[in-house]
Structure 1
């Protein structure tokens, strides 16, 4: 029998109703919108959208930096009965062309510089191109405030395109219920309140970044969007706005932990959250030392089901490598190769069940069938589940630990090698700040291990010491054939290390 969610779901646009009228909701460069102003702006933008794109369920894309448009669109499009397609502002014209064509968007709203980079044929004939400033200006002058939506919770609200680490980007379909319950879940376990101020540094096209927006508004908190150029810009923004909540992915946490923070600035932070990759024990120690007053939330998620697990901050010092347990509204099962729930410490596939499971991939029944399958018999929810492909284990306390991705395993001389295990060994030496292990084709072995690293500042002997220490810690079959040193790691559009780019780069060397 399917368990009922703990809270009633509504149309996504109802999130803007939760804050007190005069409380700050959105801090823009030139003004701060109260919740009352936020509700009015959402209504006006929704009214304009409904007149320009009257077809219910039509897709509308945005391609712009963080600001009023990109922050209001998730709620305004929902109110207008449309489906929002946020495009990462860091993408180039070819990826944008794919997203517009694949989604069938009838409109793209963006900034002049980005829209002017589109080439002939990138925009389908049926897609209208609108400048961001024109959309906001016309919405205000039109003065048509659209009343709240009564959309069904199961209606499609957004399509989030993944970064395309395997093949072309694919669109994950999220319903009103998916996004509403995701916001409620995160606001709940982070214990966000109306006096919190969230710094949104992650792309709003990224599920983790978009949820920062929605969970903050669910809690009646204030959100400060920031497109930063350097990590030091983040420190300045925390100080300027009295930020209490900061979310990042591991590469940014590494950079932030290497900077000097004024005591009064770091003391402002109440909570730090991480997703998009695992925190290493060394990075956990550094963040805990730098921000001893802040609770550190380690999290694991999938765009296909939003967020799956979080580690209670009281356990982060003693269990720094754990993914924790299921978040509210999620059921997480570990299923072994026999299709049964794994025993404690037995490796299996992470399967996510429950109302956070998305509706599949947009117009891609084949790939949807590969990832979205009936929930295991042991599930209390039933229905469709996301079979993640990630290998995990569960300890006797119920805490989960990431082992590796089935399709990311390096297969060398008959051995299945976890890239994460090699990366953790390299980081544990204290010689490198970042590490990526990859498998490259080899005629004799199938694949050989290559390790890409960035040295910790001040590690002058790292190049000679790292191979020696790895020989002490790893078996012969896991030793890198070659270690590649970088001054900086390439970062992809989602803020994570660009493993696909590194793989392609090394493959042609």
Structure 2
């Protein structure tokens, strides 16, 4: 049975009104309060003239998870379409999103500064807090649009991805016999509002047994301290956070034995990092998740196993996975091709971009923009982002493979690999490193000699204090190219 988000919230609030769904700092939100605030916001938006199907931007800072959750479900209960945005985005980017989706209203939190763009209705925290309680109003239908989430924009302008209620609630039940994360009282994350990972956490708060414990900013010491203080049972991170947790030593200084599930998402977890995490938390099940804003809620999940340290698993939750050649035909096991995923529910689409929608979404399948292969048992292995594969001479170089090898170096904290033009080879791999000391190129190449072929080795390296990342935690590689323009080329 297809459901809507407001119906899910109303049913659970009636069954478990005192359940703490979200905690942040000293503030908590139980389901009864979440439902009451949702209906007040919905009634207020309707009274202000917001009609079903109209778009409402949501701009909240990292300390405002409770207010954001209520505004998000309030917009949906009014029958409108929520457009979550990140305060990490530049004002021009925020303005583009609001204009692109033709937003009629913007609701924002105390830490957010609205961009200079005309919207008919602009509500700040004072307006929201003054809304009186209200009776439920007729909500949307399962097939109606619920949210527009903008992609991370690592290459070019972000695209608006439209999801219907039935897509967001796929697999959910009003009264399930067992809720997800049943082993936990809390699940912890530090994902920024406005990202696909954060939306997954919001729906965990709505449907899971465990309540959300949100922290405004990822700091390894603070993150590990929260695990210890609250005996957190489930943790969600992106690979960059996992690497920082390991390299900081925070997992050793705090008791993290309560963690039963440690989930990593948004990018492939380097095998060495996964093995180190498994050793650091022997009581935890380490799971690597793989999806995209376009493919969600379909995903793969892989419990770390030493026999397949780089695998991203098989499709979960009724989804299907395949790897195809350029003609769209499935590839045999072991053959590299383009990764496609298909979910069992209503697929997503791009807003006002029918040509790209036809290219990416086909017959229920979503093209992931990645290249990889399936092994004989059907496990997925990523080779690279489709646009990141480096064609060097007659060879193709996987930046994921080179980054994984670099992460094996004990003094390299983070690494990003990209291709630069080369007059002989066409393209050549180069690396940007965050390391505990300044490493020489010869040292790095000597370390990689037994791990990579000659054509895979970086021809140049640059050191930085931190890698540029988007709101979802992914490295923005096009911003790294300018580093090499200023750095001397050791080959000349």
Report if TM-score (shorter chain) is over 0.5.
yes
Match of 2:339 among 345, 350, 356: 350
Matched, 1:26 2:22: yes
Deviation at 1:148, TM superposition (A): 6.0
Matched, 1:485 2:478: no
Alignment partners' CA distance in 2, 1:461 and 1:167: 32
Q: Please, which runs of 5 or more residues in structure 2 have no aligned partner?
A: 488-492
SS at match of 1:100: helix
Matched, 1:447 2:427: yes
Paired residue for 1:123?
A: 117
Alignment partners' CA distance in 2, 1:182 and 1:74: 20
Deviation at 1:32, TM superposition (A): 2.1
Match of 1:341 among 330, 336, 339: 330
The answer to whether the 8 Å contact 1:440/1:507 transfers is no
Q: Deviations over 1:416-475 (max 9, x none)?
A: 2211122122223444222211111234432221111222x4x78676521212234333
Q: Name which of structure 1's ranges 461-470 and 317-326 shifts more when overlaid on structure 2.
A: 461-470
Matched, 1:175 2:155: no
Matched, 1:110 2:104: no
Equivalences for 1:183-262 in 2 at 5 Å? 191-193=180-182, 195-228=184-217, 230-258=219-247, 259-261=249-251
Match of 1:427 among 407, 410, 421: 407
Paired residue for 1:101?
A: 99
Cα pair distance change 1:176/1:266, threshold 3 Å: same
Two-structure CA RMSD over aligned residues (Å)? 2.6
SS at match of 1:86: strand
Equivalences for 1:261-272 in 2 at 5 Å? 261=251, 265-272=255-262
Paired residue for 1:418?
A: 398
The answer to whether the 8 Å contact 1:154/1:175 transfers is yes
Equivalences for 1:351-370 in 2 at 5 Å? 351-356=340-345, 358-370=347-359
The answer to whether the 8 Å contact 2:37/2:133 transfers is no
The answer to whether the 8 Å contact 1:74/1:158 transfers is no
Q: Deviations over 1:98-136 (max 9, x none)?
A: 1111011111122355326x3xxx312x442221x2232
User: Which runs of at least 4 in structure 1 moved beyond 6 Å after TM superposition?
Assistant: 187-190, 459-462
Paired residue for 1:14?
A: 7
Cα pair distance change 1:106/1:487, threshold 3 Å: same
Matched, 1:276 2:266: yes
Deviation at 1:81, TM superposition (A): 0.2
Q: Deviations over 1:215-245 (max 9, x none)?
A: 2321243112221252222123323433221
Match of 1:291 among 281, 287, 299: 281
Q: Deviations over 1:300-322 (max 9, x none)?
A: 11110115443442x53332210
Q: Please, which runs of 5 or more residues in structure 1 have no aligned partner?
A: 1-7, 375-383
Paired residue for 1:67?
A: 65
Matched, 1:321 2:310: yes
The answer to whether the 8 Å contact 1:431/1:462 transfers is no
Q: Name which of structure 1's ranges 249-258 and 495-504 shifts more when overlaid on structure 2.
A: 495-504
Alignment partners' CA distance in 2, 1:218 and 1:143: 23
Cα pair distance change 1:160/1:14, threshold 3 Å: same
Q: Return the structure number with greater helix share.
A: 1
TM-score normalised by structure 1 residue count: 0.87
SS at match of 2:250: coil
Paired residue for 1:501?
A: 479
Alignment partners' CA distance in 2, 1:15 and 1:170: 28
Paired residue for 1:389?
A: 369
Paired residue for 2:490?
A: none
